[in-house]
Amino acid sequence: MSTPAKLDEKTWGELREIAARYPEARSGLLPMLHLVQSVEGRVTPEGIEACAEILGISAAEVNGVATFYTMYKRKPVGDYHVGVCTNTLCAVMGGDLIFERLKEHLDVGNDETTPEEDGRRSITLEHIECNAACDYAPVMMVNWEFMDNQTPESAVQVVDDLRAGAEVTSTRGPRLCTWREAERVLAGFPDDRADEGPTAGPASLAGLAIARENGWTSGADAGSDKGESK
């Protein structure tokens, strides 16, 4: 078996491990490409060849998949991927202004990365589509962690802290890891941060709080409203 130089044996083993999770190996391709990104910082030709060899399909087929999904990147991604939602609702609520401010502040365009500098972390900036957090608009994602209810000023603060290497915590989640570490979790290799962060953010609890105040329930037998069925 030919093993391309850049991917080590551990990675080859983990790629095979992903394929083995499924009734049919090819189902592993999406998480396998996430693993390639975690190791390589992008989808590389070596990574494509490795996936193709393990799954017994052509590199062209793997390439076809890798170019279809927007989370797969062909250019190197920085230490942190910052995505600003500019779909309609977030855009209207301020996402457009946040994205403009970050482009100016970081001096990069869409889908571009700040240069490598000594002592500074790099950031890839991208505008993204709806990320299912509209009740926290305008929303920014860092390595696909929620940064809720942003303003241009708060967004600038986040990217400045990230570049300086300071610890930044998701507004509704854990301490932020790097983009490569995030990609490894997406490949199905969990880190130890599931227990960090809250159960829910404030907006998620808006209706529940009103129900509690009024004593409203579903009349269900199970759960905390036990015995109050009507």
Partner 1 sequence: MSDTLTPVLTDNWDTERAWTLASYEERGGYAALDKAFAMAPDDVINAVKESGLRGRGGAGFPTGMKWGFIPQDNPKPKYLVVNADESEPGTCKDIPLMMASPHTLVEGVIVSSYAIRANTAFIYVRGEVLHVIRRLQRAVQEAYLAGHLGKNIHGSGYDLDLIVHAGAGAYICGEETALLEGLEGRRGQPRLRPPFPAVAGLYASPTVINNVESIASVPSIIVNGPSWFAGMGTEKSNGYGIFSLSGHVSTPGQYEAPLGITLRELIDLAGGMREGHELKFWTPGGSSTPLLTPEHLDVPLDFESVGAAGSMLGTRALQLFDETTCVVRAVLRWTEFYKHESCGKCTPCREGTWWLVQTLAKLEKGEGSEADLDLLLDQCDNILGRSFCALGDGATSPISSSIQHFRDEYLAHLTHGGCPFDPAASTAFSPVGAEA
Task: Report the site for partner 1 in 95-134 (rule: CB under 8 A).
Answer: 96-97, 128-134
Smallest distance, partner 1 to C-beta of residue 172, A: 7
What CA–CA distance (Å, rounded) separates 128 from 147? 13
What CA–CA distance (Å, rounded) separates 47 from 120? 28
Strand bridging mode 123-128 / 80-85 = parallel
Q: Which of 86, 114, 122, 178 binds partner 1 (CB under 8 A)?
A: 86
Q: Are 29 and 74 in contact (CB under 8 A)?
A: no
What CA–CA distance (Å, rounded) separates 230 from 227? 9
Q: Please say which residue, 55 or 77, places its beta carbon nearer to partner 1.
A: 55
Q: Please say which residue, 16 or 120, places its beta carbon nearer to partner 1.
A: 16
Binding span for partner 1 by CB under 8 A among 7-15, 92-100, 111-119, 156-164: 92-100
Smallest distance, partner 1 to C-beta of residue 155, A: 11
Smallest distance, partner 1 to C-beta of residue 23, A: 6
Q: Are 188 and 21 in contact (CB under 8 A)?
A: yes
Q: Please say which residue, 108 or 145, places its beta carbon nearer to partner 1.
A: 145
Tell me the residue length of the chain.
230
In the window 166-225, what residues touch partner 1 (CB under 8 A)? 170, 172-174, 182, 185-188, 190-191, 193-195, 197, 199-212, 214, 216-225
Smallest distance, partner 1 to C-beta of residue 117, A: 26
Smallest distance, partner 1 to C-beta of residue 121, A: 18
What CA–CA distance (Å, rounded) separates 171 from 145? 9
In the window 9-68, what residues touch partner 1 (CB under 8 A)? 21-24, 26-31, 33-34, 55, 64-65, 68
What CA–CA distance (Å, rounded) separates 159 from 166? 10
Burial 182-219 (b: 16+ CB within 10 A, else e): bbbbbbebeeebeeebeeebeeeeeeeeeeeeeeeeee
Binding span for partner 1 by CB under 8 A among 6-14, 89-97, 103-111, 160-168: 89-97
Smallest distance, partner 1 to C-beta of residue 56, A: 12
